[in-house]
Structure 1
């Protein structure tokens, strides 16, 4: 059994590209960064805590593989979370406009008994074009930025802001597929077999 420790429809869709059957169990943890915590350490810790919180809820005899992930937009060392309102969205998008930033996405895969735990952090560099205040307000009205780190979705209308990208597109969306497939293979999950079993 495979469990995705996320409520994100984007991660569910991405995992579904090569895993035919899995359960979804959202992890409810405190995602507040710790004092002096570096962005890379932060995203790795959050994914691990998500996975461990699900493992903690499972029966001791469970034979599940748990997949957890976390995505942060980072600029000038600042972690940009999800905007609470239009003003915060404006601040974030103004920071990102006409500059490049890093999107850090962590992956944690473990067995339900925590006998085996593997983690990865994938960093993708994204460069934005200039964005006007009018565009930011119109973008906010679409509802797309509300639950997105950095206040944009690369798989949606927010793609119109992206001038260039170097790295993993799927990681920016929310789940690094190359690393996920590689790690699942290490746990004995063959993705081609998963799809053929449907």
Structure 2
């Protein structure tokens, strides 16, 4: 019975403190500080870029929020293996990491591949440093669709975490990304509450 009481005390005295690690809406109109674009396909192939609504007739309108988003056009004559790479985040003090982003894709009949990746390498420099978290797939096209991912297992406690969206194709689907958000939490035990809780047993 004493073991049960101790467990209850610990559960009641545990609190999660959450921090916003990233909240990127691309409204600066340029690639965010610390972000990169890599091309591992054909030289000169179409790449990711930050664009505004109306830059092209076939782009999503409206953006998920504001007037800008990251965009990869479908109209390329060379094979693209393009990487939109975030800055590197320090998640070493966190016990839980959740992220979300919004995707708008067009032309599902031409879909080849798009995916979301992560790396815990301190200085990722190419695709070999990344691991796929999920393929975005050919579903839910022609609308803004939210992806919510619990990356606690992969990223909590890591001092260097980088994410990337990957587009692979030649005259394939079009892709847009908007409103990338990371929230990380630390589980703490508030010992100041222990005494009051214990006296109830």
TM-score, structure 1 as length reference: 0.28
Higher helix proportion: 1
TM-score, structure 2 as length reference: 0.28
Q: Radius of gyration: which is bigger?
A: 2
